Amino acid sequence: AVIPGGRLDLAIQLGAENQLGPYEVVLVQDGMRYAFASGALKLENRQRILQVKLDLSRVPPGESRLGIRPSGQEGKYYKVMLE
């Protein structure tokens, strides 16, 4: 996925296997954590949506990893390209 830089209001759709409740989102690039946000995974129109605000204005463009996890648990990382 390609993500623009700047301050973002993200709505992330997660699969049915994800439990509703608090989640954490982190953006990592070259082993350095640049942004962190927390929000709640909620059911909206039968879809599981996690809404978070991330400030990516200080993150250099390039390949990054977006981590999504339930608060206090293990999560998954996804490759993203930051513009």
Confidence check: pLDDT of 63 > 90:
yes
Confidence check: pLDDT of 1 > 90:
no
* Tens digits of residue pLDDT in 2-44: 999 999 999 999 999 999 999 999 999 999 999 999 999 999 9
Question: What 3 state SS string does the chain have?
Answer: CEECCCEEEEEEEECCCCCCEEEEEEEEECCEEEEEEEEEEEEECCEEEEEEEEECCCCCCEEEEEEEEECCCCCEEEEEEEC
CB 16 within 8 A of CB 48: yes
CA-based radius of gyration for the chain: 12
